[in-house]
Amino acid sequence: MKESAAGVAAEGASGDEELVERVLKSRDRNSFELIVERYRKPVMTIAYRMTGDYEGSVEIAQETFIKAWRYLGSYRPDMRFSSWLFKIAANEARDHAGRKRRSLEHEISLEDRESGPLESSWQEKTDGAIMVQSLLDELREPYKTAVILRFMEDLSYEEISRIMDCSIEQVKNYLFRGRKYLLTLAREGSYGQ
């Protein structure tokens, strides 16, 4: 079944609260499995776009759901469930990116590396998809997270501000500067031509 990253969240919003309630009341694994099915694609999208590391993003997505299961009791309905989940995913992805950066710095400092960089077992299918990742990789935080969350379409400025723990004004600023830089890079690299 093909899932749209942005669409699934919207489609699932109506039933999320009931599923969460069932999990909380009776630790209903079937309900949680539905949540995983519903959000695995958008969570993977956030993880991959934030890290550019496919294998890592699978691990991040799994960790996201495991944390969601463990800490579901702290979820508050004043935030959409999808936003709550995306917040975990974004935090996990940032942590992963930080660990990977430190690990790479360590590896580079070793002179006798025996093997080259790891080959990803999955490649994006289109040039555009590869290019968008290379653009995102150039963005610094917090602009990167803001732009990625906004690209998820379904998320409003207010939701992004809650996910990023900042004000709506800051979100506006991050989005403006982030997208402006992204467009500058895209123009310089003759994006899509």
Partner 1 sequence: MDSECDYEERVFLYMDGMLDRQDSSEVEEHLASCRWCREQVELLSKIQNDFHADIVVPAGFTAGVMDRLEGIVPEKVDGGEAVKNKTGWTPIAHAIAAGIVFISIFMIPGSQATSLEIGNLMSSLFSVIKSLHIPVLFSQTIAQNLHFIAAYVTAVAALVLYTSMARSRRRPVMVNGADN
Site for partner 1 in 71-90 (CB under 8 A): 71-74, 76, 84, 87-88
Least distance CB 18 / partner 1 (angstroms): 17
Give me the amino acid identity at 169: E
Of 55 and 107, the one with the shorter C-beta distance to partner 1 is 55
Does the footprint of partner 1 cover residue 183 (CB under 8 A)? yes
Report if residue 60 touches partner 1, rule: CB under 8 A. Answer: no
126: contact with partner 1 by CB under 8 A: yes
Neighbours of 144 (CB within 10 A): 23
| C-alpha distance from residue 29 to each of 24, 80, 98, 129 (Å) | 10, 21, 32, 35
Among positions 29, 99, 101, 102, the unique one binding partner 1 when judged by CB under 8 A: 29
Of 79, 104, 89, 106, the residue nearest 47 (C-alpha): 89
Binding to partner 1 (CB under 8 A) within 141-170 occurs at: 141-142, 148, 150-151, 153, 157, 164-165
Q: How many residues make contact with partner 1 (CB under 8 A)?
A: 70
Q: Is 66 in the site for partner 1 (CB under 8 A)?
A: yes
Residue 117 binds partner 1 (CB under 8 A): no
Q: 40 and 61 in contact (C-beta within 8 Å)?
A: yes
Report d(CA 193, CA 36) in Å as an integer.
37
Among 10, 129, 167, 169, binds partner 1 (CB under 8 A): 129
Write the DSSP symbol of residue 166.
S
Rounded Cα distance, 97 and 116, in Å: 20
Structure-block tokens of residue 102: 């430190």
Structure tokens at 62: 């799994």
Determine contact, residues 69/32, Cβ cutoff 8 Å: yes
Nearest approach, Cβ of residue 121 and partner 1 (Å): 9
> Nearest distance from residue 72's CB to partner 1, in Å?
6
Choice between 116 and 192, CB closer to partner 1:
192
Indicate which single residue of 4, 21, 52, 100 sits in contact with partner 1 (rule: CB under 8 A).
Answer: 4
Candidate ranges 11-19, 99-107, 112-120, 171-179; the one touching partner 1 (CB under 8 A)? 171-179
Q: In the numeric block, which tokens belong to residue 21?
A: 């309630």
